[in-house]
Amino acid sequence: VALLLLLALCNAIKIHGEESNGLCDVNLTLRSRPHSVSILEFGAVGDGKTLNTIAFQNAIFYLKSFADKGGAQLYVPPGRWLTGSFNLTSHLTLFLEKGAVILGSQDPSHWDIVEPLPSYGPGTELPGKRYRSLVNGYMLRDVVITGDNGTIDGQGSVWWEWFTSHSLNYSCPHLVEFVSSESILVSNITFLNAPAYNMHPVYCSHVHIHHITVYAPPGSPYTVGIVPDSSDNVCIEDCSISMGYDAIALKSGWDEYGIAYGRPTANVHIRRVQLQSFSGSSLAFGSQMSGGISDVQVQQLHLYDSLTGIEFRTTKGRGGYIKEIAISDVDMLNIKTAFGANGHFGSHPDDKFDPDALPLVAKITIQNIIGTNISMAGNFTGIEESPFTSICLSNVSLSINSASSSPWQCSYVSGFSESVFPEPCSELNNPDASSSCFSLLKPNGRAAVL
């Protein structure tokens, strides 16, 4: 009976909005799944030792036959289900029961090898191929990963050791990656110890991520929580993310490869999330942003114990843009640098990039911010040949924990501020910028992207 109740809940997920009139307020009704099987039916053993890759592959191959019959569900009961990488299929729900843990194998031979993403050219950490993510979707539609707070654990410690010792043969894998897919929902799941990214929707549309918990320990190198990458119509809400590097990072390709691919990250709504990053930023834009990032609405964040709170990253040779970003209603606690905008951040994939491909950073509004125990208010370092413009701050109050006489540092940046403490640098007090600044605000004063 309990199983039937869980299946009924899973098959009738609906998302109802509130007040902000953003993407997360769009009702999402998923189709019911008239067919369901348990991973046990395919010989899986949940002892944490038996490799279950073939069981997952066979189960999903079987469920693929129901795609034109309303779709199907793969039920994972309590247990520790060790596996290598496997692919999902369209019109599928992967449901993890409470106490169910999908464990990523620590043997790299159990992870498939695939080509690098086209918007990243030769690859990320290493030139050449990369390890496929643990759970994958390629050119899929209508896929759900959910459960009663089951867990996907990447067991990333060995990958972190290989990364830091330069022992990797290929670039690190992610936990869950969807490529060129649409209508994706991820909810009520815990992600642990990803080798690199936890959730990576790339070249995707209509992605809804909510009520997930994501964790990797402070020393884990370049682990990132959620990475919308050259994707549009993305909602992230009601999540708790604590990572070794960035908590949420928006990206869209790397230098000439991202420019050539030309797919931006756009129409993103983030709200009611708790974010912590040990060595990176709680919320990051870039630095790989060559396809562009725009139309992003962010609300109701709690950022804590992080190197940087909110950061915009780029460099000469990136091209692209970061623009029309509206961030409001944020509280920060124990942050070294509250706001950053860095025009000299990150490396290049190779020597083929165009140094004259200058990025645009403009029309960024940040308002209604309270910060406690902040070391530095803001560090805005633009590009001389392409200064950052229309950086707008309103109703910002930061309690600075140092005796520094310069809580703000600014160069090659311009914008407007009002009701900001401590007083920002003169470059952010240009009255002529006020009209463009607050064009991103709705009549009720809340931030919105027009």
**Higher-pLDDT residue of 190, 19:** 190
User: Which residue, chain included where needed, has tokens 């931006």?
Assistant: 264
pLDDT at residue 437 in the model = 67
The candidate with the shortest Cα–Cα distance to 338, out of 398, 389, 382, is 398
pLDDT at residue 7 in the model = 39
| Confidence class for position 18, pLDDT limits 50, 70, 90 | very low
For 308-333, how does the pLDDT look when each residue is reduced to its tens digit (9 = 90+)? 999 999 999 999 999 999 999 999 99
Q: How far apart (Å, rounded) are the C-alpha atoms in residues 95 and 198?
A: 17
Mean pLDDT of 301-309: 98
**Higher-pLDDT residue of 118, 446:** 118
Q: Evaluate whether 33-184+197-206 and 228-443 have a shared fold.
A: yes
| Confidence class for position 22, pLDDT limits 50, 70, 90 | confident
Q: How far apart (Å, rounded) are the C-alpha atoms in residues 177 and 251?
A: 14
Domain-by-domain residue ranges, the chain?
33-184+197-206, 228-443
With 0-12 CB in 10 A as exposed, 13-18 as middle and 19+ as buried, what is 300? middle
Asked whether the beta carbons of 85 and 173 are under 8 A apart, the reply is yes
pLDDT at residue 275 in the model = 98
pLDDT at residue 221 in the model = 95
For 195-239, how does the pLDDT look when each residue is reduced to its tens digit (9 = 90+)? 999 999 999 999 999 999 999 999 999 999 999 999 999 999 999
| Confidence class for position 448, pLDDT limits 50, 70, 90 | very low
Please say if the pLDDT value at position 351 is more than 50: yes
* Mean pLDDT over the full length of the chain: 91
**CATH assignment of 33-184+197-206, given 1.10.10.10, 3.40.50.2300, 1.10.8.50, 2.160.20.10?**
2.160.20.10
Q: How far apart (Å, rounded) are the C-alpha atoms in residues 19 and 5?
A: 31
Q: Residue 424 gets which letter from DSSP?
A: P
Mean pLDDT of 38-54: 98
Task: Compute the CA torsion angle 428, 429, 434, 437 (nearest 10 deg).
Answer: 20
Q: How far apart (Å, rounded) are the C-alpha atoms in residues 272 and 432?
A: 33
Global pTM?
Answer: 0.93
Please say if the pLDDT value at position 140 is more than 70: yes
pLDDT at residue 8 in the model = 33
pLDDT at residue 349 in the model = 93
Q: What percent of the chain has pLDDT over 90?
A: 85
Please say if the pLDDT value at position 120 is more than 70: yes
**CATH assignment of 228-443, given 2.160.20.10, 3.40.50.720, 3.30.1330.40, 3.40.50.12780?**
2.160.20.10
**Higher-pLDDT residue of 139, 21:** 139
Please say if the pLDDT value at position 449 is more than 70: no
| Confidence class for position 403, pLDDT limits 50, 70, 90 | low
- Give the SS3 label for residue 256: helix
